[in-house]
Every structure is written in C-alpha cells, then in structure tokens.
Amino acid sequence: MEALRLIAKPNNHQLVIDLPPSMNDCLLEVIVLPAQADQLPAMSGRRRRPSPMLAGTVGLKDDLLAAAVPETDWDALQ
C-alpha cells in the first residue's frame, strides 16, 4: 500500500492535491484531519435543547420489560 501524507493550507475552503502518476487509475480514500490538536474548533459548553413545541408529543406504547418474542419461539433454531 502506498500512502501520501501532505500538510496543506486550504484556500477558500478548498484543498487541491497533486497525485503521483502511480495513483492515477486507482480508487482513493481521503481523510482530512487538522494538523495540530490546538486547531480544533472550540465547542461551546451549552447543551442544545429540543423545541418546547415537541413537549408531550411522544408516548411509549410498548412494554419494555416484556420479551420481544414468545417463549415458545426461543428454541426455533434448534
């Protein structure tokens, strides 16, 4: 496996990569990561909240403690 590692700066939210001729006719996987950990975007400590209009619109209609299949079907694969 041949790998190509580049450190590049984007221009107008675009990144142009010149590939060697040996990679011309093959399928490529591209993974983009920041070069340094301190370049990661800062996350705000505030949690997102759902819209108050959704309150009370979801209901549970099943018994979560009951078995998903009847006991008679447990040995169906034997």
pLDDT tens, residue by residue, 15-36: 888 888 888 888 888 888 877 7
pLDDT tens per residue across all 78 residues of the chain? 678 877 788 889 898 888 888 888 888 888 888 777 555 556 667 778 888 888 888 888 888 888 888 888 877 666
Run of H or E including 57: none
Alpha-carbon span 26 to 28, nearest angstrom:
6
Q: Indicate whether this model's pTM tops 0.75.
A: no
Three-class DSSP labels, 3-19: CCCCCCCCECCECCCCC
Residue that has been written with the tokens 């619109």 in this structure? 57
